[in-house]
Amino acid sequence: MLGGIDYFVVIVYMAGIMLLGLYFKKFIHSSQDYFLAGRMMPFWAIGMSIVVSDIGAQDFVAVSGQAYRFGIAVGNFDWIGSVPAMLLAAFIFVPYFWKAGLYTIPEYLGKRYNDAVRVIASVNWIIFFAFNLGIIFWASALVLKTLMGWDTWFSIIVTAIVVGIYTLFGGLTAVVMTDVVQMIIMFIGGAAVVFLGFYNVGGWDGLLEKMSAMGPDYQNRFNLILPVDTKTPFPWTGILFGLTFVMANAYMIGNQAVVQRCLSAKNEWHAKASMIWGAFLKMFIPILVLFPGMIASVTHPGLEDGDGAFPTLIGTLLPPGLGGLLFAALLAGLMSSIDSMLNSTATLWTKDIYQRFLKKQAPDRHYLFVGRVATLVLLVLGVITSPISSRYEGIYVAVQTYLSFFQGPTFSVLLLGIFWRRTTQWGGLSGLVGGLIVSLLLHIYSAKLFTISDPFLYISWWSFVAGFIITIVVSLFTAPHPYERLQGFVYRLDKPKINL
């Protein structure tokens, strides 16, 4: 539980972030300002924003919980599950998206394929973000309940109000710039827990020694690479094929919340650099979220629910005064994730659905208004749907399982779309839909088909393979796109530069 000084730190932090976010309201005059920060963002802010948006309070809880149960192998998600994909995004995909002046990834799919592909991709992301909002709210409320003794609904509503106000008025500029502050606070708070945790168990050697003494079940806890027949969800084949080749790329290249930030870069170099800088920062995330779980497995073995490892550890570890800092760090993770999803979902709705199909020729201020209304509606929806996540055993796995449904098929059409000019609109549509059906079938029959628990890595790989093959086969049997239609949307097929 927190003391008086901790409450002061938390209140100052929340008020400060809200005021900082509101400050950027004065820069919002158009829908481009609101959704793409006026395309004026520097690489360092975008990189920091990408990292902090990707990790929330739910990661501190759920990744620590996974590390508590399975060990360091969960770190694969932020190491090999990020760096190669972010480099591919930086050097191939992001420059083309940026040069095309896009607002959304589905917009690329619409221009490269057709409107049906665009709508399917956009609706998928809207549904995911809407449900994920609820999951984040609920996971964070669990932490706040343990730490502060706050009522679950009170925690959810307070954070919703603070984040909602600055995201609603300040748009992507407010989101990115508050993320910069939030990343610094999150790193400081997270590092404090890791430092105190290691001090508590006698440093790195102490952790190794204590874990070795816990028996044969703990021998693999320091192995990033686990055998094919492991009973954890992280066999090396799943990490390589499912995570590295598919999920990571789909997440870093096809995720609107990530790529939208790069599209707000002030020029092409900043767009590329933001991803590479973000990849560097991302490599420190496992240290912050993973080691607390491993330390808790030594200091508090036998917890019924692994997701309780992080709250239990900090409940017994932190001296008075540091509680407020850590709480601010958790709030930073929470708020940065929520503001990203709100802004990105509002962008998807406004640009891919509303402006494209419902009202095409309205004044720009109208789309700015629609974006703000969408933000508000989503916030309310996220709060209302938050209790749904309590039905899932592991919060993090639940999110990954949902992602695996459409990550594979979406990445297959993105990859073929940018690298293979022969890919046609009907190939892309068939690959996306066919891949989604395969995902669904694999999930329904997962108990019979897969031998590991939570086979989301394998499902994403095989649905990618299905989408890839279907796209190629159907493309070969349908008419190719004219050269002019592909310019600017296929690698090394740039639009001709006009010299004035």
Partner 1 sequence: MFNGLQYVLNFEWLTGVGMSTSKNIFLILFVVIGILVLLIPKDYIYEGVENRRWWHNLKLWAIGDLAFIFITYYIF
> With binding defined as CB under 8 A, does residue 268 bind partner 1?
yes
- Comparing CA positions, the residue from 336, 429, 304 lying closest to residue 60 is 336
- Residue 488 phi, psi (nearest 5): 90, -10
* Cα of 19 vs its chain's centroid, Å: 25
User: Considering the complex, what minimum distance in angstroms separates the CB of residue 494 from partner 1?
Assistant: 10
How far apart are alpha carbons 324 and 358 in whole angstroms?
47
**Residue among 303 and 465 whose Cβ is closer to partner 1:** 465
Q: With helix as H, strand as E and coil as C, how does 197-266 read?
A: HHHHHCHHHHHHHHHHCCCHHHHHHHCCCECCCCCCCCEHHHHHHHHHHHHHHHHHHHCHHHHHHHHCEC
**Directed axis angle between helix 57-70 and helix 115-148, to 10°?**
80
User: Considering the complex, what minimum distance in angstroms separates the CB of residue 444 from partner 1?
Assistant: 13
User: Dmax of the chain from CA atoms?
Assistant: 73
How many Cα atoms occupy the beta-carbon half-sphere of 338 within 13 Å? 39
Q: With helix as H, strand as E and coil as C, how does 446-482 read?
A: HHHHCCCCCCHHHHHHHHHHHHHHHHHHHHHCCCCCC
> With binding defined as CB under 8 A, does residue 222 bind partner 1?
yes
Whether 159 and 33 have beta carbons less than 8 Å apart is answered as no
> With binding defined as CB under 8 A, does residue 443 bind partner 1?
no
Q: Pick from 114, 146, 237, 299: which binds partner 1 (CB under 8 A)?
A: 237
How far apart are alpha carbons 492 and 273 in whole angstroms?
20
**Residue among 200 and 223 whose Cβ is closer to partner 1:** 223
User: Considering the complex, what minimum distance in angstroms separates the CB of residue 405 from partner 1?
Assistant: 16
> With binding defined as CB under 8 A, does residue 241 bind partner 1?
yes
How far apart are alpha carbons 273 and 281 in whole angstroms?
12
How far apart are alpha carbons 196 and 148 in whole angstroms?
20
Q: Would you give the binding string for partner 1 spanning residues 392-431, x where CB under 8 A is met?
A: ----------------------------------------
> With binding defined as CB under 8 A, does residue 280 bind partner 1?
yes
Q: Would you give the binding string for partner 1 spanning residues 83-112, x where CB under 8 A is met?
A: xx-xx--xx---x-----------------
Burial status of residue 237 (CB atoms within 10 A of its CB: 0-12, 13-18, 19 or more): middle
How far apart are alpha carbons 277 and 45 in whole angstroms?
10
How far apart are alpha carbons 20 and 53 in whole angstroms?
17
> With binding defined as CB under 8 A, does residue 219 bind partner 1?
no
Listed ranges 14-22, 124-132, 233-241, 351-359: which one lies at the site for partner 1 (CB under 8 A): 233-241
> With binding defined as CB under 8 A, does residue 378 bind partner 1?
no
**Residue among 105 and 279 whose Cβ is closer to partner 1:** 279
Q: Pick from 74, 89, 162, 273: which binds partner 1 (CB under 8 A)?
A: 273
**Residue among 33 and 78 whose Cβ is closer to partner 1:** 78
Listed ranges 29-37, 106-114, 115-123, 220-228: which one lies at the site for partner 1 (CB under 8 A): 220-228
**Residue among 212 and 451 whose Cβ is closer to partner 1:** 451
CA angle 351, 431, 484 (to 5 degrees): 60
**Residue among 61 and 72 whose Cβ is closer to partner 1:** 72
User: Considering the complex, what minimum distance in angstroms separates the CB of residue 279 from partner 1?
Assistant: 5
DSSP 41: B
Q: How far is CA 153 from CA 57, 138, 162, 339, in A?
A: 16, 9, 15, 19
- Comparing CA positions, the residue from 246, 238, 314, 188 lying closest to residue 70 is 238
> With binding defined as CB under 8 A, does residue 18 bind partner 1?
no
- Answer left, alpha or beta for residue 394, where phi above 0 means left and psi between -120 and 50 means alpha: beta
> With binding defined as CB under 8 A, does residue 449 bind partner 1?
yes
How far apart are alpha carbons 79 and 2 in whole angstroms?
33
> With binding defined as CB under 8 A, does residue 283 bind partner 1?
yes
> With binding defined as CB under 8 A, does residue 269 bind partner 1?
yes
> With binding defined as CB under 8 A, does residue 46 bind partner 1?
no
User: Considering the complex, what minimum distance in angstroms separates the CB of residue 223 from partner 1?
Assistant: 7
> With binding defined as CB under 8 A, does residue 44 bind partner 1?
no
Whether 76 and 381 have beta carbons less than 8 Å apart is answered as no
**Residue among 40 and 373 whose Cβ is closer to partner 1:** 40
> With binding defined as CB under 8 A, does residue 450 bind partner 1?
yes
User: Considering the complex, what minimum distance in angstroms separates the CB of residue 492 from partner 1?
Assistant: 10
**Residue among 331 and 418 whose Cβ is closer to partner 1:** 418
How far apart are alpha carbons 199 and 206 in whole angstroms?
9
**Residue among 265 and 370 whose Cβ is closer to partner 1:** 265
User: Considering the complex, what minimum distance in angstroms separates the CB of residue 445 from partner 1?
Assistant: 8
Instruction: Give the pair of three-digit tokens for residue 372.
Output: 């703000």
User: Considering the complex, what minimum distance in angstroms separates the CB of residue 86 from partner 1?
Assistant: 8
Number of residues that bind partner 1 (CB under 8 A): 45
DSSP 328: H
**Residue among 267 and 487 whose Cβ is closer to partner 1:** 267
Residue ranges binding partner 1 (CB under 8 A): 72, 79-80, 83-84, 86-87, 90-91, 95, 222-225, 227-229, 235-238, 240-241, 244, 267-273, 276-277, 279-280, 283, 442, 448-452, 455, 458, 462
